[in-house]
Every structure is written in structure tokens, then in C-alpha cells.
């Protein structure tokens, strides 16, 4: 018989939490400059008109503050929209 699933990796119904499986992906924050904080967002949207035209809207708002070294500090606000 044909099965769309690989029967070797199918597990039986779990009866306790010890039998369940969980997939987790760990992320680590890149620390390129040590004491630099970043905050911001990216927005994207699509506007569709009455005809067949459409427009892609995009925006960026990014703030960066902190120390690049003992003698060099940064404070930046970067914004872009179209």
C-alpha cells in the first residue's frame, strides 16, 4: 500500500508529556560592537487599486545607540519610506 508519510518516523500517540517531541531553534544575538543597542521595525504592504495596478509600500525605522569603543559613541536614527 502507498502512504504519503514515512512510517518509520511516525510516533504513536503520546500518553504522557515525557513521550512528546519538541523542535526548538536557538538564536543568539550577534554582539559585533559590545555595548550597542538597536531598536526598530520594518513594514511592508501592498495596495491594490480598482484596475490591475498594485503598489508595494515599504518602511524602515531604526535607532542605534551605544559605545563603539571607549572613545567613540554612536547615536543614530535611520528612517526610510516609499
- Give residue-wise pLDDT tens across range 22-58: 666 666 666 666 788 888 998 888 887 777 788 888 8
By residue range, what is the domain housing residue 56?
A: 29-81
Residue 3 lies in a domain: no
Per the structure, how many domains does the chain have?
A: 1
Helix (H) or strand (E) segment spanning residue 9: none
The phi and psi torsions of 22 (rounded to 5 degrees) equal: -140, 130
Residue 74 lies in a domain: yes
| CB neighbours of residue 59 within 10 Å | 13
Residue 23 lies in a domain: no
Residue 15 lies in a domain: no
DSSP state letter for 8: T
Residue 40 lies in a domain: yes
- Partners of 64 in the β-ladder: 38, 76
| Residue 65 confidence (pLDDT) | 93
Q: Determine the 3-state secondary structure of 17 from DSSP.
A: helix
Amino acid at each position: 500500500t502507498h502512504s504519503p508519510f514515512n512510517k518509520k518516523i511516525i510516533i504513536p500517540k503520546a500518553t504522557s508529556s515525557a513521550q512528546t517531541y519538541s523542535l526548538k531553534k536557538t538564536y543568539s544575538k550577534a554582539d559585533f560592537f559590545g555595548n550597542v543597542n538597536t531598536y526598530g521595525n520594518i513594514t511592508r504592504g501592498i495596495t491594490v487599486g480598482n484596475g490591475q495596478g498594485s503598489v508595494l509600500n515599504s518602511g524602515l525605522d531604526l535607532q542605534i545607540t551605544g559605545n563603539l569603543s571607549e572613545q567613540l559613541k554612536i547615536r543614530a536614527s535611520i528612517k526610510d519610506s516609499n
